[in-house]
Amino acid sequence: MELSGSQIVIEELKANGVEIAFGIPGGAIMPFYDEIMKSEFPHILTRHEQGATHMADGYARVSGKVAAVITTSGPGATNTITGLCNAQMDSSPIVAITGQVATPTIGTDAFQEADTYGCSIPVTKHNWLVKDVRELQGVVREAVRVATTGRPGPVVIDFPKDVQVAMTEYNPLEKTETALSAEPVFRIPEPDTKAIERLLEELERSEKPVIIAGAGIIKGGAAAELAEFARSAEIPVINTLLGMGGFPGSDPLFLGMPGMHGTAYANMALCECDLLINLGGRFDDRVTGKVAEFAPGATIVHVDIDAAELGKRVETDIPILADVRDVLALLNTQARKKDRQAWLGKVEAWKRDYPLQYDWDGSIKPQYVIEQIQEVSEGEGTYISGVGQHQMWAAQYLRFNEPNSWVSSGGLGTMGFGLPASIGAKVGRPDREVWLIDGDGSFSMSLVELATAATYNIPVKIAILNNNYLGMVRQWQELFFEKRYSHVHFPKSPDFAKIAEGYGVRGFDVKDVDQVRSTLEQAAEIDGPVVMNFHVNQEENVWPMVPSGAGNHEMQLGPQSTEKLT
Amino acid sequence: MRQVFSILVNNHAGVLSHVSGLFARRGYNIESIAAGPTENPEATRIVIVAFGEEETLEQIAHQLRKLYDVLEVEQLQYNRSVTRELVLATVSADADKRTEVLQIANAFGANIVNITDNTVTLEASGNDHKTRILIKALERYGISNMARTGMIALPFDEMTDEWEPLA
- A306 CB neighbours in chain B (<8 A) are 66
Same structural domain, B105 and B44: no
Tell me if A492 is assigned to some domain: yes
Q: List per-residue pLDDT tens for chain B, 167 residues long.
A: 889 999 999 998 899 999 999 988 888 889 999 999 999 999 999 999 998 888 888 889 999 999 999 999 999 877 778 899 999 999 999 999 999 999 999 999 999 999 999 999 999 999 988 999 999 999 999 999 999 999 999 887 665 555 555 43
Task: Please say which residue of B52, B76, B100 terminates a domain.
Answer: B76
Same structural domain, A425 and A478: yes
Tell me if A524 is assigned to some domain: yes
Measured over the CA atoms of residue A217, residue A218, residue A220 and residue A222, the dihedral's sign is: positive
> Residue A111 catalytic?
yes
In this structure, what CATH number is given to the domain that contains residue A277? 3.40.50.1220
Do residues A550 and A289 touch, judged by C-beta distance below 8 A? Answer: yes
Please tell me the total count of domains within chain B.
2
Q: Does A383 touch chain B (CB under 8 A)?
A: no
pLDDT (0 to 100) of residue B167 = 39
**CB-based contact B68 A182, cutoff 8 Å:** yes
ipTM of the shown complex: 0.88
Q: Which residue has the higher pLDDT, B57 or A20?
A: A20
Same structural domain, B23 and B70: yes
Same structural domain, B6 and B67: yes
Tell me if A80 is assigned to some domain: yes
Rounded-to-integer distance, Cα A132 and Cα A31, Å: 16
Same structural domain, A264 and A285: yes
Task: Please say which residue of B19, B46, B76 terminates a domain.
Answer: B76
Q: Does A296 touch chain B (CB under 8 A)?
A: no
The beta-strand segments (E) located in chain B are 2-10, 30-37, 43-51, 70-76, 81-92, 111-115, 119-126, 143-148, 152-155
In this structure, what CATH number is given to the domain that contains residue B98? 3.30.70.1150
Tell me if B14 is assigned to some domain: yes
pLDDT (0 to 100) of residue B158 = 64
Pairing of strands A21-23, A68-71: parallel
What is the least distance, in Å, from the CA of B38 to any CA of chain A?
A: 17
> Residue A244 catalytic?
no
Tell me if A180 is assigned to some domain: no
Catalytic pick from A55, A472, A545, A555? A472
Say yes or no to pLDDT of A497 above 70: yes
> Residue A415 catalytic?
no
Tell me the pLDDT tens digit for each residue of A117-151: 999 999 999 999 999 999 999 999 999 999 999 99
Tell me if B162 is assigned to some domain: no
Rounded-to-integer distance, Cα A512 and Cα A500, Å: 20
Number of other CB atoms surrounding residue B75 within 10 Å: 16
Number of other CB atoms surrounding residue B142 within 10 Å: 12
Name the residue among A302, A89, A311 with its Cα closest to residue B58. Answer: A311
Q: Does A122 touch chain B (CB under 8 A)?
A: yes
Task: Please say which residue of B34, B61, B76 terminates a domain.
Answer: B76
> H or E segment at A98?
strand A94-100
Same structural domain, A104 and A41: yes
Q: Does B25 touch chain A (CB under 8 A)?
A: yes
Task: Work out the average pLDDT over A68-87.
Answer: 98
Distances (CA, A) of B52 to A465, B3, B49, B82: 45, 8, 10, 22
Say yes or no to pLDDT of A318 above 80: yes
Q: Which residue of B has its CA nearest to A311?
A: B59
Say yes or no to pLDDT of A464 above 50: yes
Residue A189: pLDDT band (50, 70, 90) is confident
Q: Which residue of A has its CA nearest to B12?
A: A128
- Range(s) of the domain holding residue A99: 2-169
- Range(s) of the domain holding residue B111: 83-153
**CB-based contact B25 A122, cutoff 8 Å:** yes
- B14 CB neighbours in chain A (<8 A) are 117, 121, 127, 129
Tell me the pLDDT tens digit for each residue of A373-387: 999 999 999 999 999
- What's at A487, amino acid-wise? H
pLDDT (0 to 100) of residue A178 = 57
Q: Does A180 touch chain B (CB under 8 A)?
A: no
Tell me the pLDDT tens digit for each residue of A346-355: 999 999 999 9
Task: Work out the average pLDDT over A535-563.
Answer: 87
Same structural domain, A233 and A335: yes
Catalytic pick from A30, A112, A135, A293? A112
> Residue A515 catalytic?
no
Please tell me the total count of domains within chain A.
3
Q: Does A188 touch chain B (CB under 8 A)?
A: no
Range name among A160-174, A182-196, A481-495 with the lowest pLDDT average: A182-196
pLDDT (0 to 100) of residue A186 = 56
Strand partners, B30: B50
Tell me the pLDDT tens digit for each residue of B71-90: 999 998 777 788 999 999 99
Name the residue among A272, A273, A271 with its Cα closest to residue A206. Answer: A273
Nearest to A308 among B10, B66, B68 (CB): B66
Tell me if B23 is assigned to some domain: yes
Residue A176: pLDDT band (50, 70, 90) is low
Non-local CB neighbours of A476 within 8 Å, separated by 6+ positions: none
Name the residue among A50, A72, A41 with its Cα closest to residue A445. Answer: A50
In this structure, what CATH number is given to the domain that contains residue A70? 3.40.50.970
In this structure, what CATH number is given to the domain that contains residue B7? 3.30.70.260
pLDDT (0 to 100) of residue A566 = 43
Say yes or no to pLDDT of A75 above 90: yes
Tell me the pLDDT tens digit for each residue of A221-232: 999 999 999 999
